[in-house]
Amino acid sequence: MPSKKKYIAHLDLDCFFVSVERIKDPSLIGKPVIVGGKADERGVAAAASYEARKFGIHSAMPTARAQKLCPKLIIVRGHHGEYSRISDQLFNRMCEIAPVVERASIDEMNMDFTGCEKLFNNDLPGYMKIIQKIVLDEFKLPCTIGLASNATLAKIAANQVKPAGIIFVPHGKEKEYLAPIDISVIPGIGKKTEEFLRNRGFNKVSDIQAKSERELVSILGKHGSWISRAASGQGSDVIGEESDAKSISREETFAKDISDRKTLEKIIFELTEDICRRLRSNGWTAGTVTLKLRTSDFKTITRAKSIDPTNDDTVVARIARELLKTSYTSRLPIRLIGVRLTNFDEEEQMELLLSPEKEKKQVVLKTVDQIRKKFGKDVIHIGGE
Amino acid sequence: MKFTIESNELQKVLIKISGVVPSKSTLPILENILFTLNENKLTLVATDMEISMSASLDVRGSENGSIAVPAKRVMDTLRALPDAQIVFNADTGNNKIKMITENGEYNLIGESSQDYPAIPEFKSSNELLIESSVIESIISKTVFSVSTDELRPAMTGLLLQFKEKEMRAVATDGHRLVRIIYTNLPQIKDQKDIIIPSKALNLISKAIESGSNTVSFSSTHIKFSFKNLTLTSRLIEESYPNYESVIPLENDKKLLADRNILLSAVKRVSLYSSNTTHQIRFSMKKDDLKIMAEDIDFGGEAKEKIACSYSAENIEIGFNAIYLIDILSHIDSQEVIFNFSSSVKAAIIKPVTMKENEDVLMLVMPMRLNV
């Protein structure tokens, strides 16, 4: 049987943080706004409105520099708990709409509509417009959706039509679609690689397509193989692997590669909080913690450790941090980090009441879960060790 | 530094102490073993900064000196060599080491003995003369139930409690517990509790020599001195949980069974238990014990009937088979007694016959039964 045509949609919320701030304060609409730290605190922009981007401002730019570019710039400190809460709500809503949903980051998600063509009158691109409208009507958030045969291409395409765009790259037209676009759109081509390629006459994706995978590997090393495939329109078409009940995991790809350990540890803790909550909601404990790292050269490192079965955030986060310590040398910045729990146990084995703290901890974790369920997951955090 | 020795003699001693050497350490010098030659006496020292071991052996020495030798390299070489005489020659000026056999020459680079950390000296406040067999018995009966959970550091060691007329050895991981009370040991001055890390206990059980030994300790360190070997370990300076409070006193349902028969039945039936939970079920009626297991995920079930003496009401109770096997394997009496109260309370397991002056109690928490 020939395999089904894959339909993966990539939904990207347009300058998400700014959009949320505009719901809270409509006077910000139509003005150049960034969400980020203040200039005198050496802050950087976490997000910039399209009005601000016209001045050349982009996320991760120091606020001081952004202010120089646009003196009328409005700086909002931001409500990060609120962003997570809304992102969660949107994710839950999309789970009602699409058969498989995967969160790519706080403001991006991938949805797999493979096999649903008939359900939507063979007009999936048309259905994307309906989804866009649902997001705007119910959440007051503008978004862009790319639909293609894989998640990588869907994301590239969505980036081309932002904001408030819809795009469909038909099957078989992937290469053709990418050919005239600038090479910087390919995920994995960072500033250095871009400069390196431009110096060698690569400017459009078609320039990359003209070279064989082997030639690119000889120029760029292993990394060339990924770029070659992405440039020809190939990419991951399996999403939502974590729905497999044998493991619970979460990973995050960063907008900008990170090499600061403290920041990585903080992200590990956030990922851990989420997966442990899901573990507890099933009444499970996990006996193995796996840390996944992808460095800027696309090398993936995974390290696992077996532990006494637990569902305690602080224990899992501690193990994950230890794994980070032993597996990450800081030589290259990290573009993706993930934590996975496997080797589940039901909480059947009874414990001696030797440590009242452990009993108390279970009560604390349960209470935290209830609070999060009611008020959103960022209203409360468990202190790290 | 230069001496001659039979390779197997050196290997025998190195095996005993090399367990201390950390495989990966932030202090690379610790991956070495310190060799010190004084006339015809070679002293070997290994440490991971928590535990230190030193051993001495007779060699034919020709030049005194001291050097830190890469533990893995030298162990691997000795393992690969047939029994042979070795001339060990180290230039302590440039740390080059040469091991020469009849047919071969092995050159390795050591490190300066100056860089090797010293074994901690401590002022012992208590000393105890104790037979090797007693030390071995204490360790073998308890160490299996020591916790590996680093979040509960006190439980990652063996508790020794010195009371007026007795010494207690206690180990627990929160699911099972072993308590042994000894009443025939020599008295010590202070009545105090110490917690010995399980790594130290495992090393001692491998290195122990027969005879009478001295155990000395302070509030921070313990030292085991055998004839040719000493082990010094830092103690775990934490307070041990109140284990007495979890030992039930009102377990009135008593089951008596042959230990060997029970152990082999549990082993057989557990082959059919779930790979993740290892749950087996004890179902007791008058003079009748049925052990059952089923693996819902992969299918398969097993049951066995065992003759026993039981006269209380019918009861069903679930256990992790691994815990039961551990406990039954470490009891040395022909018959065992189980004391139960209910299917959700701790079960006490005791040997029927015990050595004089030794009172052994083991305890295991049940697993919740779904049906």
Give tens-digit pLDDT for A48-81.
999 999 999 988 888 889 999 999 999 988 777 7
Cβ partners under 8 Å of residue A193, min gap 6: A220, A223, A227
For chain B, the straight-line distance linking the first and the last C-alpha, in angstroms and rounded, comes to: 71
* B210 in Cβ contact with B132 (< 8 Å): yes
For residue B166, CA distances in Å to B75, B146, B187, B298 come to 42, 21, 8, 50
Q: Which CATH number is A247-375's, of 3.40.50.970, 3.90.1210.10, 3.30.1490.100, 3.40.630.10?
A: 3.30.1490.100
- Answer yes or no: do B175 and A353 touch at CB < 8 A: no
Given CATH 3.40.50.10860, say whether it is the number of domain A16-80: no
| Chain A stretch 354-373, residues whose beta carbon is closer than 8 A to a beta carbon of chain B | 354-355, 358
User: How many alpha carbons fall within 13 Å on the CB side of residue A379?
Assistant: 13
What SS3 class is residue A134?
A: helix
Indicate the pairing of strand A143-148 with strand A166-168: parallel
* Residues of A classed as catalytic: 108
B366 has a chain A CB within 8 A of its CB: yes
B296 has a chain A CB within 8 A of its CB: no
- Sign of the alpha-carbon torsion through B247, B249, B252, B257: positive
Chain B residue closest in CA terms to A343 = B276
* B48 in Cβ contact with B19 (< 8 Å): no
What residues of B are in contact with residue A351 (Cβ under 8 Å)? 174-175, 365
Reported as a single tens digit per residue, the pLDDT across B264-323 is: 999 999 999 988 789 999 999 999 999 999 887 677 899 999 999 999 999 999 999 999
Q: Which CATH fold would you assign to the domain A175-231?
A: DNA polymerase; domain 1 (1.10.150)
* B50 in Cβ contact with B233 (< 8 Å): yes
What residues of A are in contact with residue B246 (Cβ under 8 Å)? 352-354
Closest C-alpha to B344, from B320, B371, B305, B317: B317
| Chain A stretch 295-334, residues whose beta carbon is closer than 8 A to a beta carbon of chain B | 308, 315, 318
- Answer yes or no: do B320 and A346 touch at CB < 8 A: no
- Answer yes or no: do B177 and A352 touch at CB < 8 A: yes
Closest C-alpha to A229, from A203, A199, A208, A252: A208
Q: How would DSSP label each residue in A70-81? A: -TT-EEE---HH
In degrees, rounded to 5, the angle at the alpha carbon of residue A315 between the alpha carbons of residues B160 and B152 is 10
Chain A residue closest in CA terms to B320 = A349
Query: Dmax of chain A from CA atoms?
Result: 70
Q: Which value does ipTM take for this structure? A: 0.76
- pLDDT band at A363, cuts 50/70/90? confident
**Domains delineated in chain B:** 2-115 (3.10.150.10), 126-244 (3.10.150.10), 248-364 (3.10.150.10)
* A348 in Cβ contact with B318 (< 8 Å): yes
Distance CA(B240)–CA(B243), nearest Å, equals: 8
What residues of A are in contact with residue B277 (Cβ under 8 Å)? 345-346, 348-349
Same fold: A16-80 with A247-375: no
With the CA atoms of B168, B172, B177 and B179 taken in that order, what torsion angle do they form, in degrees rounded to the nearest 10? -10
- Answer yes or no: do B346 and A345 touch at CB < 8 A: no
Closest C-alpha to B230, from B139, B114, B119, B116: B119
Domain ranges for chain A? 16-80, 175-231, 247-375
From first to last of its 371 residues, chain B has per-residue pLDDT tens of 999 999 999 999 999 999 999 987 778 999 999 999 999 999 999 999 999 999 999 999 999 999 999 999 999 999 999 999 999 999 999 999 999 999 999 999 999 999 999 888 888 888 888 889 889 999 999 999 999 887 788 999 999 998 888 899 999 999 999 999 998 777 777 768 999 999 999 999 998 888 888 999 999 999 999 989 999 999 999 999 999 989 998 899 999 999 999 999 999 999 999 887 899 999 999 999 999 998 876 778 999 999 999 999 999 999 999 999 999 999 999 999 999 999 889 999 999 999 888 999 999 999 988 65
- Neighbouring CB atoms inside 10 A of A22's CB total 21
* A268 in Cβ contact with A324 (< 8 Å): yes
Nearest by CB to B365, which of A308, A343, A350? A350
Quote the pTM value: 0.59
Q: Residue A196 pLDDT > 70, yes or no?
A: yes
B65 has a chain A CB within 8 A of its CB: no
Chain B residue closest in CA terms to A356 = B241
Kindly state the DSSP code that residue B91 receives in the 8-state scheme.
Answer: E
Indicate the pairing of strand B167-172 with strand B176-182: antiparallel
User: How far A257 CA lies from chain B's nearest CA (Å)?
Assistant: 28
* B221 in Cβ contact with B233 (< 8 Å): yes
* B19 in Cβ contact with B206 (< 8 Å): yes
What residues of B are in contact with residue A353 (Cβ under 8 Å)? 245-246
- Answer yes or no: do B365 and A351 touch at CB < 8 A: yes
- Answer yes or no: do A354 and B246 touch at CB < 8 A: yes
Q: Is residue B149 packed enough to be buried (19+ CB in 10 Å), middle (13-18) or exposed (0-12)?
A: middle
Dig out the tokens for A235 from the structure. Answer: 């990419």
What residues of A are in contact with residue B148 (Cβ under 8 Å)? 308
Q: Which residue, among B151, B245, B275, B278, would best test binding to A if mutated, counting the most A CBs under 10 Å from its CB? A: B151
B156 has a chain A CB within 8 A of its CB: no
Q: Strand locations in A243-333, DSSP E? A: 247-258, 284-295, 300-310
Tell me which residue has tokens 């006269």: B311
Phi, psi of B315 (to 5 degrees): -150, 150
A245 has a chain B CB within 8 A of its CB: no
